[in-house]
């Protein structure tokens, strides 16, 4: 009889784990759909909206941000295809011009454009590095570029976090998002809000290599 009880408990535990895993997958795919179709950029917000829509409220079923990102890539591949690939390419080519324009500020491309998850609603996100807080807005003003400003909270490492100035502007019919960080941060990327690891970044040279590799891959895939 004890063995029977243990077997019953084990079966119940495995069933609960399977159900939780299925719910996590459901939530990840619903959050990804909301991000792709609704233009939501915030993983946490998409996660909460998905949970509300599906009526799933236990914390154990909430997917990690990385799971949502993977589901978003799958959704874009299945339902957006060449349209989404065009949006990514368009933004990466515009980012080349932006990185050249801001070259004095050690710029790096980050975010959905670099990750390949950008869509028609995505901004081109750059990180600039300068210890003079007024240098970037002064540069934009000198070139007659209208901007909006706000701030963004970032963790630089496990010990340091702060709010940093952000400048928004439009060019080439696209939105650009500039986060201005201290000069020494160029040596170590801030931590990603997706998985807590250093953000993936690309310099101008690295982005050009990425575009060239994509072009070669496109030729090789052509019939």
156-206 residue pLDDT tens: 988 889 999 999 999 989 999 999 999 999 999 999 888 888 999 999 999
Alpha carbon of residue 88 to chain centroid: 12
Q: Looking at residue 121, what is its pLDDT?
A: 85
CATH 3.30.460 domain span(s) along the chain = 82-221
Instruction: Please answer whether residues 162 and 185 qualify as being in contact, where contact means their C-beta atoms are separated by less than 8 angstroms.
Output: no
Looking at the domain 82-221, which fold is it?
Answer: Beta Polymerase; domain 2 (3.30.460)
CB contact set of 125 (below 8 Å; sequence gap of 6+): 109, 110, 111, 112, 113, 176, 177, 179
Q: Looking at residue 195, what is its pLDDT?
A: 81
Q: Looking at residue 43, what is its pLDDT?
A: 82
The CA angle 126-28-115, to the nearest 5 degrees, is 25
Query: Residue with structure tokens 């339902």?
Result: 79
Strand spans (E) along the chain: 108-110, 124-129, 148-155, 161-171, 174-181
Instruction: Please answer whether residues 69 and 117 qualify as being in contact, where contact means their C-beta atoms are separated by less than 8 angstroms.
Output: yes
What is the Cα–Cα distance from 202 to 193, expressed in whole angstroms? 17
What is the Cα–Cα distance from 186 to 181, expressed in whole angstroms? 8
What is the Cα–Cα distance from 33 to 51, expressed in whole angstroms? 13
Mean pLDDT of the chain: 86
Q: Coil, strand or helix: which one is 76?
A: helix
Residue ranges in the chain whose pLDDT is less than 50 = 1
Instruction: Please answer whether residues 111 and 136 qualify as being in contact, where contact means their C-beta atoms are separated by less than 8 angstroms.
Output: no
Question: What are 151's strand-pairing partners?
Answer: 165
């Amino acid at each position: 009889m004890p063995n029977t009880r243990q077997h019953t408990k084990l079966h119940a535990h495995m069933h609960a784990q399977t159900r939780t895993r299925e719910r996590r997958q459901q939530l990840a795919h619903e959050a990804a759909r909301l991000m792709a179709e609704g233009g939501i950029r915030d993983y946490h917000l998409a996660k909460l909206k998905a949970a509300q829509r599906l009526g799933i409220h236990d914390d154990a079923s909430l997917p990690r941000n990385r799971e949502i990102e993977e589901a978003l890539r799958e959704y874009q591949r299945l339902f957006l295809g060449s349209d989404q690939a065009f949006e990514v390419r368009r933004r990466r080519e515009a980012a080349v011009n932006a990185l050249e324009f801001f070259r004095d500020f050690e710029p790096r491309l980050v975010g959905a454009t670099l990750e390949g998850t950008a869509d028609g609603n995505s901004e081109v996100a750059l990180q600039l590095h300068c210890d003079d807080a007024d240098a970037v807005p002064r540069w934009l003003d000198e070139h007659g570029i209208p901007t909006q400003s706000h701030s963004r909270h970032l963790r630089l490492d496990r010990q340091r976090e702060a709010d940093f100035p952000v400048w928004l502007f439009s060019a080439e019919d696209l939105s650009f998002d500039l986060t201005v960080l201290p000069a020494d941060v160029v040596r170590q990327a801030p931590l990603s809000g997706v998985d807590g690891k250093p953000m993936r970044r690309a310099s101008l040279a690295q982005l050009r290599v990425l575009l060239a590799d994509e072009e070669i891959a496109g030729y090789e895939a052509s019939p």
